[in-house]
């Protein structure tokens, strides 16, 4: 993919972002309930509610509200939370790193387990490892992430208390100074190896629970793509030349089979940002997804729009990155994009 193609994709992404902002802005404001009344509570007077509505432009027509929102957004201002009374950008900056850290580790788990299961299933097609791999992938896909969270908590938190089941650090572990918001990085920056291991230990169960669905998809897709490539004439020719199965799998079959899987991996990673809320709830994880659910329940208008926009931006960025990576892995796609 050349720079022109990247520019076109970014332009299309900007149009999509504007459409998403209009849609979520309208939906948030037509949801039942008065956000000012919910924020101030049942004991607030009518004058206080009216004052808050006027302060946040909630009594203005919807197009005027959206225009004010776009003006503020052009300055990087996502508005102020009705509940925390802080800028939404401050809230997001506080909660987003924890979710990103969880999703990144989940993606690593997804790749490290999903790809080998798919490759082994394809290699041993029709035999016991294949049946076992397909069963594991099917169960992983069919079981919701929060159920995996409860199962992992039961087995590895209660029956065999190996891993912690809540939070990011033990209470006895000192919290490192805030540098990036990513706990693994901040603990390393502080030179605190024990805190780093503690943070990593706390990530094992929630990251595994969040990765399971994508892991199953990754394994199933890798298997089917590998089998399709194995049936190609040029792979049959490699077998006829007597090349070892490991060389055929890694050098000739995996690369073309990985391209469709790479696309799914990118979308699965972006989807984790939106799907992580139940896992974060189960494990008491202070992330953006849990924050997003709470602001929806409170009808915290600016916070709802800000959270959804951040997740939408993540989707769009991942789409562009995946297109670039696919072009790097497969030069024919890069050349075709350049001609287009």
Summarize pLDDT for 279-328 with one digit per residue, the tens: 888 998 988 888 888 888 888 888 888 888 888 888 888 777 877 777 77
Taking CB atoms within 8 Å and a gap of at least 24, the contacts of 56-61 are 56/80, 56/82, 56/301, 56/302, 58/301
Confidence class of residue 333 from pLDDT cuts 50, 70 and 90? low
What's the mean pLDDT in 17-25?
A: 84
Q: What is the pLDDT of residue 136?
A: 93
Distance separating alpha carbons of residues 203 and 139, to the nearest angstrom? 22
Q: What is the mean pLDDT of residues 18-23?
A: 84
| The pLDDT of residue 179 | 86
- Token couple for 157: 């938190």
Structure tokens at 151: 């199962």
CA dist list (Å): 176 to 182, 194, 252, 287: 10, 11, 47, 17
Residue-wise pLDDT tens digits, 240-286? 877 787 777 777 777 777 777 887 787 788 788 777 888 888 998 98
CA distance 140 to 273: 18
Cα–Cα distance measured from residue 39 to residue 81, given in angstroms and rounded to the nearest whole number: 9
Locate 28 and state its tokens. 């948030």
Question: Band of the pLDDT at 334, cuts 50, 70, 90?
Answer: low
Q: What is the DSSP string of 128-160?
A: HHHHHHHHHHHHHHHS-HHHHHHHHHIIIIIIS
Residue 309 CA to residue 317 CA, distance in Å, equals 12
pLDDT number for residue 101: 93
Q: What is the pLDDT of residues 187-233, one digit of tens each?
A: 999 888 899 999 999 999 999 999 998 899 899 988 988 888 888 88
- Provide mean pLDDT across the span 68-94: 86
Q: What is the percent of the chain where pLDDT is above 90?
A: 21
| Cα 94 from Cα 90, distance rounded (Å) | 6
Angle (deg, nearest 10), helices 3-30 and 62-74: 140
134 — pLDDT class (breaks 50, 70, 90): very high
The model's pTM is 0.83
CA distance readout (Å), 67 to 79, 87, 97: 13, 18, 30
What angle (nearest 5°) sits at the alpha carbon of residue 274, between those of residues 151 and 40?
Answer: 105
Q: What is the mean pLDDT of the chain?
A: 84
Location of structure tokens 């990085």:
185
What pLDDT does residue 205 have?
94
The tokens describing 93, both together, are 């900056």
Task: Let me know if 156 is exposed, middle or buried by CB neighbors in 10 A (0-12, 13-18, 19+).
Answer: middle
Residue 50 has pLDDT above 50, yes or no: yes
Taking Cα atoms as reference points, which of 130, 138, 136 lies closest to residue 227? 130
- Could you give the C-alpha distances from 153 to 147, 156, 210, 250, 314, in angstroms and in order? 10, 5, 13, 36, 29
> What count of residues does the chain have?
340
pLDDT at 206: 94
- How high is the pLDDT of residue 148? 92
Whether 235 contacts 248, CB under 8 Å: yes
Residue 340 has a pLDDT of: 46
Rg over alpha carbons for the chain, rounded to the nearest Å, is 24
């Amino acid at each position: 993919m050349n720079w022109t193609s990247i520019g076109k994709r970014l332009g299309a992404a900007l149009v999509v972002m504007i459409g998403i902002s209009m849609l979520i802005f309208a939906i948030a404001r037509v949801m039942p309930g008065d956000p000012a009344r919910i924020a101030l509570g049942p004991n607030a007077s009518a004058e206080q509610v009216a004052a808050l509505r006027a302060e946040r432009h909630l009594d203005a027509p919807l197009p005027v509200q959206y225009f004010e929102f776009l003006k503020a957004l052009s300055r990087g201002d996502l508005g102020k939370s009705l509940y925390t009374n802080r800028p939404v950008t401050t809230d997001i900056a506080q909660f987003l790193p924890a979710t990103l850290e969880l999703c990144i580790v989940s993606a690593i788990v997804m790749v490290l387990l999903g790809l080998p299961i798919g490759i082994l299933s394809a290699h041993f097609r029709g035999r016991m490892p294949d049946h076992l791999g397909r069963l594991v992938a099917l169960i992983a896909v069919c079981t919701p992430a929060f159920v995996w969270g409860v199962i992992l908590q039961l087995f590895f938190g209660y029956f065999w208390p190996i891993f912690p089941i809540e939070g990011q650090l033990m209470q006895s572990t000192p919290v490192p100074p805030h540098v990036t918001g990513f706990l693994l990085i901040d603990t390393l920056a502080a030179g605190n190896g024990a805190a780093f291991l503690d943070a990593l230990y706390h990530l094992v169960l929630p990251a595994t629970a969040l990765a399971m669905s994508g892991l199953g998809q990754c394994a199933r897709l890798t298997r089917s793509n590998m089998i399709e490539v194995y049936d190609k004439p040029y792979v049959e020719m490699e077998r006829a030349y007597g090349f070892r199965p490991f060389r055929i799998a890694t050098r000739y079959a995996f690369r073309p089979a990985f391209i469709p899987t790479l696309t799914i991996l990118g979308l699965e990673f972006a989807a984790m940002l939106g799907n992580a809320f139940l896992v974060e709830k189960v494990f008491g994880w202070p992330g953006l997804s849990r924050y997003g659910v709470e602001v929806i329940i409170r009808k915290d208008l600016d916070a709802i729009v800000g959270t959804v926009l951040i997740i939408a931006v993540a989707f769009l960025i991942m789409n562009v990155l995946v297109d670039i990576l696919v072009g790097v892995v497969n030069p024919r796609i890069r050349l075709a994009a350049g001609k287009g």
